[in-house]
């Protein structure tokens, strides 16, 4: 009886911690938002320059009805060429995870003329553990918490497993 109550409590704590860790890591950015969107009118270069993308974040191409091509190189991105795509995101598939730091990801619209009109996006993904100088104190605290939380979560999971 007492055991099952403890177990239930631990499960609640573990779930709550997972939720906290989940929101602390990985922001979701809707392309072009809030003023614009994934279209030819929005200056997506300017939009991207306002954000420091970090590993674990994700891009959301909201409601795009056209295929988004991830170009294989900067040269292809510059030339609006999708001839060697890394990935092709069809309409309806709108979430693109950015799991790896230290890379630049290149996205172009495959509709003729759209990329040339500015419907293209280059996103450089930064290391989530490397804070900008201005944000150093709070970010390093968050990084420390990020390291510890999964360990605590694992320990809780082990306790739950032992009790059950």
Instruction: Report the interface residues with ligand NAG, using CB under 6 A.
Output: 43, 45-46, 49, 118
Q: How many CA atoms lie within 13 A of 117 on its CB side?
A: 11
| Cα–Cα distance, 37 to 39 (Å, whole number) | 6
CB of 47 to ligand NAG, least distance (A): 9
Nearer to ligand NAG, 26 or 118 (CB): 118
Determine phi and psi for 134, rounding to 5 degrees.
-65, -30
Nearer to ligand NAG, 85 or 120 (CB): 120
Nearer to ligand NAG, 118 or 146 (CB): 118
Note whether 102 and 128 are within 8 A (CB): no
CB of 103 to ligand NAG, least distance (A): 21
CB of 42 to ligand NAG, least distance (A): 9
Within a 10 A sphere around the Cβ of 65, how many other Cβ atoms? Answer: 8
């Amino acid at each position: 009886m007492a055991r099952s109550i403890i177990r239930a409590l631990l499960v609640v704590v573990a779930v709550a911690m997972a939720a906290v860790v989940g929101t602390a890591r990985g922001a979701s950015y809707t392309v072009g938002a809030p003023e614009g969107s994934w279209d030819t009118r929005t200056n997506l270069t300017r939009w991207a320059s306002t954000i420091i993308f970090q590993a674990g974040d994700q891009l959301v191409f909201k409601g795009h009805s056209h295929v988004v091509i991830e170009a294989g190189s900067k040269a292809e991105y510059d030339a609006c060429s999708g001839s060697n795509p890394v990935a092709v995101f069809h309409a309806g598939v709108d979430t693109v995870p950015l799991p790896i730091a230290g890379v630049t990801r290149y996205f172009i619209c495959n509709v003729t003329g759209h990329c040339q009109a500015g419907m293209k996006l280059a996103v450089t993904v930064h290391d989530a553990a490397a804070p900008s100088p201005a944000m150093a104190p709070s970010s390093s605290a968050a990084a420390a918490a990020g390291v510890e939380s999964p360990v605590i979560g694992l320990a809780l999971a082990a306790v739950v497993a032992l009790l059950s």
